Amino acid sequence: MTFCAAVGHKLLQRIPTVGRGSARAYSARPTTLPDEGRAKVTIRTIKKLYTDQQPITMMTAYDYPTSVACDRAGVDMVLVGDSLAMVALGHNDTSQITMDDMIHHSKAVARGSRSSFLVTDLPFGAYQSDETTAVNNAIRMIKEGRAEAIKLEAGRRAAPKIDAIVNGAGIPVVGHIGLTPQTAVALGGFRVQGKSVSSAQALVADALALQEAGCFAIVLEAMPSLVAEAVTRLLRVPTIGIGAGPATSGQVLVLSDMVGMFDRFTPKFCRSFADLGPRMVTAVGEYNEAVRAGTFPAEGTHTYAMPAAAEERWRTYVQKEFGLELGAGSGSGTRVSTDPVPQSI
């Protein structure tokens, strides 16, 4: 069985029937998502996992299909990360994405996320200028993007803005310290942070300040494991690591990286759980060849038939009106002529 066929078979097994008979849902005939039986993850769920010392899972999603995959896999938190600028939109860095872009993708992810807790990044430029702008954009992301919390890449200097968002507007915030891709240029590029004692001390100060400002969780990116462990043990809120070792309260990865869908590079800290990129290329290549060989679509397998009486009347009408002799129809596999249609006189 080909990759496309195997994936299609599994997907069709999970799609519920619609209406009576054997009618089947498909992309142009949407249906509601099946109830997977998992309780909705909330901030209280996250706090309980943290208190019970149970690892917290987070995964990025950028659209409806990836959101459904994360939700059905049982991920605790889905992150609409601004990394979508690179892995989904093809930009060279994350600074080029806009609020409107993030809202668009957050809405799509929200439609597919029934149980996972949804966090969305505020993009570069959406919160750096002043508290009012930060609060207004956080409100937009909740109202328009349907996010349940927002994430900011910022250290202790952003604490007043986080306080205004959390305690002023009542919006949950996830902090993000260490390597902050939005400001990677100022950090000297995509480099590990906290390798010196002084820089590690600065990360501890950032983490404590974000906790006091009201963050309910903090992402630790690209830092030595010992630094991340110290930060995690000093905090009273969970840490979510990405390239920060195993001692954090949970982990997050970029979905495109861990399933082999991003063609430019794979970070050292990312483990490959699948290699879907090459498999997708192979599948599309097989489709390309099938179309050119005339084996797809196959009459009777991928086509719709008319009722026998209607088919006979249609053939008679087309022959008399246009002088066309149609193919054998369903089940014949006969390719219909592509000769130009003669004009009626």
How far is residue 168 CA from its own chain's centroid?
A: 30
Annotated catalytic residue 221: yes
Q: What is the amino acid identity at position 222?
A: A
Task: Assess contact for 76 and 115: CB atoms under 8 A.
Answer: no
What percentage of the chain's residues is helix, strand, coil (to nearest 5)?
A: 40, 10, 45
Dihedral pair phi/psi, residue 311, rounded to 5°: -60, -45
Contacts 24+ apart (CB under 8 A), 234-238: 234/204, 234/207, 234/208, 235/207, 235/208, 235/211, 236/211, 237/50, 237/211, 238/46, 238/47, 238/49, 238/50, 238/56
Tokens matching residue 12: 């069709």
Tokens matching residue 106: 């957050």
- Beta strands at 173-178 and 217-221: parallel, antiparallel or unpaired: parallel
> Which residue is catalytic, options 212, 221, 286, 325?
221
SS3 162: helix
Tokens matching residue 216: 């309910």
d(CA 288, CA 295): 10
Task: Assess contact for 241 and 250: CB atoms under 8 A.
Answer: yes
Among all residues, which ones are annotated catalytic? Answer: 221
